[in-house]
Structure 1
């Protein structure tokens, strides 16, 4: 389907300021400020200065929270976003009750909040490492939506569903034809391509984040067949008896 840029000059802006460069700047800024996020339910709260807030917004990490503080700004990070900054980029510390948590402790905490967290995180990090902007896809009945750059510049290109065929795993979506039919119709209606990420643990457990290196991701795009795209306009087919019929 390809990217749908928002307005004249959006593509040029994205090319001049690639997402990989913005994330690198965020990485450096968070390390310099020794940033700490606070565990709070199914999210992580992060208090930042103006420069950090700007970079978080430009790199699409977290949602801005409305507070009465003038000197500080708060962001709410999803579990996948927070763990990516903490574990993959090593630029964020996560604390609970003023006590820093190890990667293993954070992993166990987030896994206890969502049994699907290991698969969702693997999918999230897989796309982020390819410099896609990844945001919640709940509006479209998906796990994530993927943007080529900032949502202000381009529409999301993919609706992402995370799947696993491991025996005993909880997520059983897209196992029947009706699920696939509904998903593809919805994606077609909002001009997105359905991207299914099949996560395989390859026999490894979900007990530690170190197991993520052994997980593999298989990408599949699913689209509806549109017969009009395979049809010649005004085609005349001559039958064997010489009669003509329009198709």
Structure 2
């Protein structure tokens, strides 16, 4: 199942302005402004100027929050998004409730405390983000993320992503789980992408463990006997 572009010219717009370049401009802008965000429960709050508002929106990081302030725009970042900007792109500082900037280890421990499976989810998130896929929450589809080839205003999401960890016995362990999930993905024109995160025997005590983790990608689609039979007939007719 290939990309489904939204309207005439959408693909050309995406090709003319690659997501990698948008993220690079955002990274540069945040670095120059010495951007600083604050922890707020299970999310991170970031106040930015007009230029960064546009870049965050175009790069699909966080969601804007409506406030009475006119000179600044606030964004709410998810844990994976915030840690990606802080740890992977090195362009964002994040302060705790005491207003002191947290180092990578303290931030990692905080996010693990707020989200038990954060290490595996972050590994999966960064794995796809580094390949220039845009990731958004997939709760409405019963999955962990949905992946877009470019900005959601230009293209529909292509993959419904489920993250599986070592010893995960809760999801996709019986045929009925696969059947229901694949049917749901098919009904919304998405391909199921399962990311199996393997820590290779290492713990997750510090963010350095990410380098020792590996990911196995597996796309799963529904097999249609009728469709296969039609293809076989067409092939046979073509050889006669």
Pair in the same fold by TM > 0.5: yes
Q: Alpha-carbon deviations, 1:49-106, whole Å to 9, x = none?
A: 0000000000000000000000000000000000000000000000012100000000
Per the alignment, residue 108 of structure 1 pairs with 109
Matches of 1:225 and 1:37 in 2, distance apart?
46
Per the alignment, residue 181 of structure 1 pairs with 179
After TM superposition, what 4+ stretches of structure 1 lie above 4 angstroms from structure 2? none
Correspondences of 1:108-147 after superposition (within 5 Å): 108-147=109-148
Q: CA deviation at 1:232?
A: 2.8
Q: Which structure 2 segments of 5+ residues have no match?
A: 234-240
Matched, 1:194 2:192: yes
Per the alignment, residue 24 of structure 1 pairs with 24
Matches of 2:7 and 2:203 in 1, distance apart?
46
Q: CA deviation at 1:229?
A: 1.7
Q: Which structure 1 segments of 5+ residues have no match?
A: 236-247
Matches of 2:67 and 2:137 in 1, distance apart?
23
Matches of 2:112 and 2:24 in 1, distance apart?
28
Per the alignment, residue 42 of structure 2 pairs with 42
Per the alignment, residue 236 of structure 2 pairs with none
Partner SS state of residue 5, structure 2: coil
Correspondences of 1:6-85 after superposition (within 5 Å): 6-85=6-85
Mean Cα deviation higher: 85-94 or 224-233: 224-233
Per the alignment, residue 158 of structure 1 pairs with 159
Partner SS state of residue 193, structure 2: strand
Matches of 1:90 and 1:228 in 2, distance apart?
51
Per the alignment, residue 244 of structure 1 pairs with none
User: Normalized against structure 1, the TM-score is what?
Assistant: 0.92
Q: CA deviation at 1:113?
A: 0.7
Work out which of the two has the higher radius of gyration on C-alpha atoms and give 1 or 2: 1
The structure carrying a bigger helix percent of its residues is: 2
Per the alignment, residue 93 of structure 2 pairs with 93
Per the alignment, residue 223 of structure 1 pairs with 221
Q: CA deviation at 1:231?
A: 2.0
Matches of 1:119 and 1:61 in 2, distance apart?
19
User: Normalized against structure 2, the TM-score is what?
Assistant: 0.94
Per the alignment, residue 208 of structure 1 pairs with 206
Give me the CA root mean square deviation: 1.1
Total equivalences in the alignment: 231
